[in-house]
A and B are shown apart, each in its own frame.
Chain A
Amino acid sequence: MAFGSLFFLTAFLPPVLFGHWALQAAGRRWRHATAAANAWLLAASLAACFLSDLPGLPWFLGCAAGTDLFARAVSAARRPRLRKALLALALAADLGLLCFFKYGGVLARWIDAAAGCPLVPAPAIAFPLGISFWVFRSMSCVWDAARGVRPPPRNPLDTICWMALFPVFVSGPIVRWADVAESFRSRPFSAPLAASGFRRLLVGLAKKVLLANQLAPFADAVWELADAGRGMSPGMAALGVAAYSLQLYFDFSGYSDMAIGLGRTLGFDFKENFLWPYGSASVREFWRRWHVSLSSWLRDYLYFPLGGSRCGAARACLNSMAVFAACGVWHGTGWTFLLWGLWHGLLVCAERLFGPKRRKGAPPPDRPAWIAAPRFLAAHAWTLAAVAFGWILFRSATPAAAGSLLRSLAGLEPVAREARTLWLDCTPVVSVALAAGAVLSLPVVPALRRLARRVLPEWFVWTLESLAATALGVLALLFLAASTRRSFLYFQF
């Protein structure tokens, strides 16, 4: 059940929110209110799982129960060897589950191809929704319990509720138990907090519906041609890559905004997942701002255990390559995902080895603006180009398709007949979305907000922001409703 669906917004969300707010409001007079709110949230989250992915529900419940058992056992184990063994067992079970569903089919195909005959039956079970996210949440919980960073949840129902939390179940962010443990003990209701969460939800919805969804048909049309090995003009290819880069950002960050906003309306405080990544001036900085919950998870649970950057430059580069390869494979099973991960690993290593070096904690060099600004712009342009190149690998179905698009970008591919009408897909709406997206992907809104707060009273800024969010929300709902329109009778034939 996607956040951007009318069913979620109009049928599922209102009763869940009303019920939760009522229980939170009762917290002042009833000491079991938080437990009741948690139970309500658990029921709502399981209902969401039921409605969106019934076949995957038993797998999820099994994983959540296993997480709770292992986390308790690891936490209770006194001998380090036993603790490590239990941790290894839990991680192996989690990774095994992930690999079975995500890579089982591919592995079976590879084995069959190598053997020349069908040997291994491909898993016939559907891919459980959100498995990449809830498996990582499970691993972080057991790991943190083993390291003593955060004790596991006291109540098994809290474990299931945290892992099933509907705002973050399908597409993250990867909310760790350590981040929300306190909220499971106490979540007071406040109208300003709930309203600010709802506003964030509307902004996220607008990002998804008004920007990402508008850019999607054009990006799809470009990649449809590229995947078929058809050439197009360099301008159209460049616009297509730009459209996809922005579509991906607004789609995913919009989703994260909605998750964070929903969390806030329920009283949770999820960490930010996107920190204006397209404003970065280096690829390393980009990864500190893009999908923060995943990059920080990989940093804490893979990069640091491998030794991080404390074992010399060569080892640090090797570790980075391993982390980014894992990041690529986590996103999907195609070769292009692995290539995308390795491309970013290479860039990070290159920046580590050849980029400007500054001691940790040292202030930035004080350069005059006429030197600093062009340097920043050049670095920013390079970062955007490198990231966009990565998105070509990420979006293409095969390396050959990525090669075809790159050749089109360089003007080396003859323009196919089908590509001559591509400009029709680059409609004025796409152009507006491209222009607006290019501006809004940079930290313009926070700057305007800071400026407004400096010169206007707080309540006025709040009202302005709420009116803007309302207008965006109404527009997004209108677009969603319009997409249900079916015009032609003869499509019933």
Chain B
Amino acid sequence: MNRILPAAFLAFWSAALAFPQVARIVLRRTGAVSWAAFDSAGEKRNSAPYPTLRKGTPRSVAPAEFGRAWESWYGDALPWRTELLLFHRDQSFRRLKTPVGREVPGHGNWVFRRGGDWPELDDYLGAKELSPAELADWIVLFEGRREWGRAIGAAVLEVPAVTKAQARWQELYPAIRRHRGNNVAAQVREALADSPARDDVLFADDDFAAAFAAGRETFFDRDHHPNAYGEWLLYDRINRRLRELFPDRIGETPPWYDEPPPAVLAGEAPGCWRRSIRLEVSVPGEVQDDDGVVHNAARYPYCNVATKREGGGISVLLAHDSFMRFSLASWRGKDGDVRFPFAKGVGRVRALIFQRFSPGFLEGATAHGIPDVLVEQFPACRLDASVSKYLDAGTRAAAAFGRAEEPPASRPPRAGDRIAARAVFGDVRAGGRARPVAVLRCGGAEIARRDVPPGVKRAAFFDVAELPSDGPLEVSLEGGSAASADLVWRLARRP
């Protein structure tokens, strides 16, 4: 065998391996620094920069880091990278029905993550069959929140947003589809049918299904987030419920425009439209606000938004998960100001990203003022997670109070009655201890107690207790003071 073939083989591989580096040097000399190897929009990140070896001592140079940085740059600078990756993904997804790494595919290259500390595929598909106890916990949480909100004068709305895997399961590849089981959102919805909280838990499945049937795209092509139109559906669903809660005060949802008219674009008429990947909302009279809650209580202050309207109106505090993030976040302000006003009649909106209503958060958020509406949005797949983080004894007691029966008018409490009691205090201030304690007494004997954090208005729901005597019920605050105290009791249902 002659030397030509081996030499050609060596030459080919030498050129192939050295090409990106050589091309970089040549392109730099010619002024064209890089070529379009990297699909920044598709991967939603910037291309890795060319690494530089820092000058300094051998230890400070950190040569291993340089190697890793080179890997990142080379991976991004590989010629025809996008084409090669799409080919690779295409072969993996379409022919082998296999996700790349931990990304689970659907048609059109949309992906979502599984494994690690991120929700498992079970979560996205809502495949878990909830036990009666788990279902009961969710119902108790929703009912308890509702009752707690009513006590202090706020409406609490829960918005479990449907996931793409649940809404569009037909588009999953068969290997993944086979895994589909019971939908947790459907289970919770069914269990809520007889609950007084059912109208305050807003499932948007029907809206998404109707939009899909009408040929509208509601999710991003390449991932599982609702797109601008899908987010508008959620926004509209929330606004419709606000209109039911505050009739004649809240205006229509600003309509959706595929092609917004100039008046809407100029902010002179209400309307919603898509700009880039974001949902834009225009409501005349709305201005940006600077709000302490947004800056102090949120995990990502630069991603949150506060707006207010001249002339006032009801106030809304919205905590939302990543499913509304593309309209409600501006990563380090790069996407400009975030604007998310609600319809006419809503005076103030505060929206917090990646926030959920834990009892501690709710206490902090309502310490200085009570919003008219508290909205919590989260992906429906979270319904298969434990609620223990959000469901405390006070919420359970509030739910029990909501289910209890009101006694006949002027009927006094009697010995042996099982009662659920609620006390609402105005302007609670701490005295001898950081957190005052509300004490419920019957004929002078203590029958229940509950912590009450300081705040403008606080509700204390006591655990169901059996009365030891016919004595009168009274409530007092230990370790602090309150401007007013209002006690209400009901007859608890037999367990």
Interface residues of chain A: helix, strand, loop or mixed (majority): helix
Nearest CB of B to A432, in Å:
7
Does B30 make an interface contact (CB < 8 A)? no
Q: B17 to A14, Cβ gap below 8 A? A: yes
Among A46-54, A170-178, A233-241, A319-327, the stretch in contact with B: A46-54
Does A18 make an interface contact (CB < 8 A)? yes
Does B483 make an interface contact (CB < 8 A)? no
Among B92-100, B194-202, B206-214, the stretch in contact with A: B92-100
Nearest CB of A to B161, in Å:
16
Q: B85 to A482, Cβ gap below 8 A? A: yes
Q: A11 to B63, Cβ gap below 8 A? A: no
Contacts of A487 in B (CB 8 A): 43-44, 103, 111, 223
Contacts of B92 in A (CB 8 A): 429
* In-complex Cβ contact of A54 among B6, B21, B59, B111 (8 A): B59
Q: B96 to A427, Cβ gap below 8 A? A: yes
Bound form: Cα–Cα A430–B103 in Å: 15
* In-complex Cβ contact of A485 among B12, B85, B354 (8 A): B85
Contacts of A194 in B (CB 8 A): 6, 10
Interface residues of A toward B: which range? 35 or more
Chain A residue at smallest Cβ distance from B68: A7
Does B330 make an interface contact (CB < 8 A)? no
Interface residues of B toward A: which range? 35 or more
Does A484 make an interface contact (CB < 8 A)? yes
Nearest CB of A to B227, in Å:
15
Nearest CB of B to A198, in Å:
6
Q: B6 to A195, Cβ gap below 8 A? A: yes
* In-complex Cβ contact of A478 among B7, B44, B88, B101 (8 A): B88
Instruction: Give a binary string over A472-493; 1 marks a CB under 8 Å from any B CB, 0 the rest.
Output: 0110001111111111111011
Bound form: Cα–Cα A493–B353 in Å: 12
Q: B88 to A10, Cβ gap below 8 A? A: no
Q: B179 to A427, Cβ gap below 8 A? A: no
Contacts of B113 in A (CB 8 A): 488
Contacts of A50 in B (CB 8 A): 58, 63
Instruction: Give a binary string over B93-132; 1 marks a CB under 8 Å from any A CB, 0 the rest.
Output: 0001111110100000001011000001110000000000
Q: B74 to A54, Cβ gap below 8 A? A: no
Interface residues of chain B: helix, strand, loop or mixed (majority): helix
Bound form: Cα–Cα A16–B66 in Å: 18
Among A147-155, A397-405, A462-470, the stretch in contact with B: A462-470
Bound form: Cα–Cα A487–B120 in Å: 17
Bound form: Cα–Cα A130–B44 in Å: 39
Q: B44 to A488, Cβ gap below 8 A? A: yes
Nearest CB of A to B82, in Å:
10
Instruction: Give a binary string over A101-144; 1 marks a CB under 8 Å from any B CB, 0 the rest.
Output: 00000000000000000000000000000000000000000000
Give B32-54 interface residues, CB cut-off 8 Å to A.
43-45
Instruction: Give a binary string over A426-448; 1 marks a CB under 8 Å from any B CB, 0 the rest.
Output: 01111010000000000000000
Q: Which of A50, A54, A192, A482 gathers the greatest number of chain B CB atoms within 10 Å?
A: A482
Q: B17 to A52, Cβ gap below 8 A? A: no
* In-complex Cβ contact of B75 among A6, A52, A191, A493 (8 A): A6
Does B344 make an interface contact (CB < 8 A)? no
Q: A6 to B74, Cβ gap below 8 A? A: yes
Does B3 make an interface contact (CB < 8 A)? yes
* In-complex Cβ contact of A421 among B103, B121, B331, B354 (8 A): B121
Nearest CB of B to A480, in Å:
8
Q: B67 to A462, Cβ gap below 8 A? A: no
Does A291 make an interface contact (CB < 8 A)? no
Give B1-31 interface residues, CB cut-off 8 Å to A.
1-3, 5-7, 9-10, 12-14, 16-18, 20-21
Does B78 make an interface contact (CB < 8 A)? yes
Bound form: Cα–Cα A1–B71 in Å: 11
Chain B residue at smallest Cβ distance from A9: B17
From known contacts A421-B179, A428-B97, infer whether A13 and B17 are also in contact, taking CB-CB under 8 Å.
yes
Nearest CB of A to B84, in Å:
5
Q: B18 to A478, Cβ gap below 8 A? A: no
Contacts of A428 in B (CB 8 A): 96-98, 175
From known contacts A10-B74, A462-B5, A487-B111, infer whether A481 and B14 are also in contact, taking CB-CB under 8 Å.
no
Chain B residues with CB under 8 Å of chain A are 1-3, 5-7, 9-10, 12-14, 16-18, 20-21, 43-45, 58-59, 63-64, 66-68, 70-72, 74-76, 78, 81, 84-85, 87-89, 92, 96-101, 103, 111, 113-114, 120-122, 175-176, 179, 223, 300, 322, 325, 331, 354
* CB-defined A-B contacts under 8 Å, sample of 18: A5-B71, A6-B71, A10-B20, A14-B14, A51-B64, A191-B6, A194-B10, A198-B10, A199-B9, A421-B121, A478-B88, A480-B75, A482-B85, A482-B88, A483-B101, A485-B75, A487-B111, A488-B223
Top 4 A-B residue pairs of the complex, sorted by shortest distance between their CB atoms: A484-B75, A195-B6, A427-B98, A489-B44
Q: 19 other contacts beyond A459-B5, A487-B103, A489-B44, with CB at 8 A cut-off?
A: A5-B71, A10-B18, A50-B58, A52-B63, A53-B64, A194-B6, A421-B120, A424-B176, A427-B98, A470-B12, A478-B87, A478-B88, A482-B89, A483-B75, A484-B72, A487-B223, A488-B44, A489-B45, A492-B45
